[in-house]
Structure 1
Amino acid sequence: MKKWGRIISTHQSYKVKGQVEFEVETKNMRKIYGCLQPFLLSCFASLAFCSSRSIAGDTITLNQSVTDGKTLVSSGGTFELGFFSPNNSNNRYVGIWYKRIPVQTIVWVANRNDPITDSSGVLKLSKDGNLVLLNRLETVVWSTNVSKGENPVAQLLDSGNLVVRDDDTNLSLWQSFDHPTHTLLPGMKLGWNLKTGLNRFLTSWKNHDDPSTGSFTFGVDRRGYPQAFIWNGKGIEYRSGPWNGLQFSAVPEMGPNYILNFSFTSTADELYYSFSLKNDSYLSRLTMTSSGKLWRFLMMEDEKSESWSRFWFAPKDQCDSYEACGPYGICNASASLVCQCPTGFKPRDPQNWYLRDGSGGCVRKTEFGCQNGDYGFLKLQDMKVPDTSQAFVNESMSLQECEAACRRNCSCTAYANSKVTEGGTGCLYWTSELIDLRVYTEGGQYLYLRMAATDLGKMKF
Structure 2
Amino acid sequence: NNLVIFDQSDRPVWSTNITGGDVRSPLVAELLDNGNFVLRDSKNKDPRGFLWQSFDFPTDTLLSEMKLGWDNKTGYSKLLRSWKTTDDPSSGDFSIKLRTSGFPEFYVCNRESITYRSGPWIGNRFSSVPGTKPLDYIVNNFTMTNQEVAYTYRVNKTNIYSILSLSSTGLLQRLTWMEAAQSWKQLWYSPKDLCDNYKECGNYGYCDANSSPICNCIKGFEPMNEQAALRDDSVGC
The alignment's TM-score, normalised by the length of structure 2, stands at 0.89
Q: Which residue is equivalent to 1:217?
A: 95
Q: Which residue is equivalent to 2:15?
A: 143
Q: Which residue is equivalent to 1:399?
A: none
Q: Which residue is equivalent to 1:316?
A: 192
Q: In the TM superposition, what whole-angstrom CA distance separates every residue of 1:105-137 from its partner, at most 9, and x where no partner exists?
A: xxxxxxxxxxxxxxxxxxxxxxxx211112344
- Superposition pairs of residues 88-237 of structure 1, within 5 angstroms: 129-149=1-21, 150=23, 151-170=26-45, 171-237=49-115
Q: Which residue is equivalent to 1:347?
A: 222
Q: In the TM superposition, what whole-angstrom CA distance separates every residue of 1:416-458 from its partner, at most 9, and x where no partner exists?
A: xxxxxxxxxxxxxxxxxxxxxxxxxxxxxxxxxxxxxxxxxxx
Q: In the TM superposition, what whole-angstrom CA distance separates every residue of 1:321-373 from its partner, at most 9, and x where no partner exists?
A: 11001012222224444223333x312425146514251223xxxxxxxxxxx
Tell me how far apart the structure 1 counterparts of residues 142 and 209 of structure 2 sit (CA, whole Å). Answer: 27
Letter in 1 for 2:35: G
Tell me how far apart the structure 2 counterparts of residues 284 and 274 of structure 1 sit (CA, whole Å). Answer: 13
Offset at residue 169 of structure 1 (A) = 4.1
> Does structure 2 retain, via aligned residues, the 8 Å contact 1:254–1:262?
no
> Does structure 1 retain, via aligned residues, the 8 Å contact 2:67–2:151?
yes
- Superposition pairs of residues 14-413 of structure 1, within 5 angstroms: 129-149=1-21, 150=23, 151-170=26-45, 171-301=49-179, 303=180, 305-343=181-219, 345-349=220-224, 351-352=226-227, 354-362=229-237
Tell me how far apart the structure 2 counterparts of residues 152 and 219 of structure 1 sit (CA, whole Å). Answer: 32
Counting helix residues as a fraction of each chain, which structure ranks higher?
1
Tell me how far apart the structure 2 counterparts of residues 333 and 281 of structure 1 sit (CA, whole Å). Answer: 38
Q: For residues 246 and 136 of structure 1, do their structure 2 counterparts lie closer, same or farther at Cα, with a shift above 3 Å needed? A: closer
> Does structure 1 retain, via aligned residues, the 8 Å contact 2:130–2:190?
no
Tell me the secondary structure at the aligned position of residue 308 of structure 1.
strand
Tell me the secondary structure at the aligned position of residue 287 of structure 1.
strand
User: What count of residue pairs does the alignment treat as equivalent?
Assistant: 231
> Does structure 1 retain, via aligned residues, the 8 Å contact 2:204–2:221?
no
Which sits farther off after the overlay, 176-185 or 292-301? 292-301
Tell me the secondary structure at the aligned position of residue 282 of structure 1.
coil
> Does structure 2 retain, via aligned residues, the 8 Å contact 1:347–1:353?
no
Tell me how far apart the structure 2 counterparts of residues 361 and 309 of structure 1 sit (CA, whole Å). Answer: 37
> Does structure 2 retain, via aligned residues, the 8 Å contact 1:286–1:295?
yes
Q: Please identify the structure whose Cα radius of gyration is greater.
A: 1
Offset at residue 203 of structure 1 (A) = 0.8
> Does structure 1 retain, via aligned residues, the 8 Å contact 2:61–2:163?
yes
The alignment's TM-score, normalised by the length of structure 1, stands at 0.47
Letter in 2 for 1:326: G
Tell me how far apart the structure 2 counterparts of residues 210 and 350 of structure 1 sit (CA, whole Å). Answer: 41
Tell me the secondary structure at the aligned position of residue 319 of structure 1.
helix
Q: Detail structure 1 runs of 4+ shifted over 6 Å in the superposition.
A: none
> Does structure 2 retain, via aligned residues, the 8 Å contact 1:281–1:300?
no
Tell me how far apart the structure 2 counterparts of residues 300 and 280 of structure 1 sit (CA, whole Å). Answer: 14
Query: What percentage of residue pairs aligned between the two structures are identical?
Result: 44
Q: Which residue is equivalent to 1:36?
A: none
Tell me the secondary structure at the aligned position of residue 119 of structure 2.
strand
Tell me how far apart the structure 2 counterparts of residues 263 and 324 of structure 1 sit (CA, whole Å). Answer: 29
Tell me how far apart the structure 2 counterparts of residues 293 and 189 of structure 1 sit (CA, whole Å). Answer: 19
Q: For residues 255 and 268 of structure 1, do their structure 2 counterparts lie closer, same or farther at Cα, with a shift above 3 Å needed? A: farther
Tell me how far apart the structure 2 counterparts of residues 306 and 255 of structure 1 sit (CA, whole Å). Answer: 23
Counting strand residues as a fraction of each chain, which structure ranks higher?
2
Letter in 1 for 2:173: W
Offset at residue 199 of structure 1 (A) = 0.6
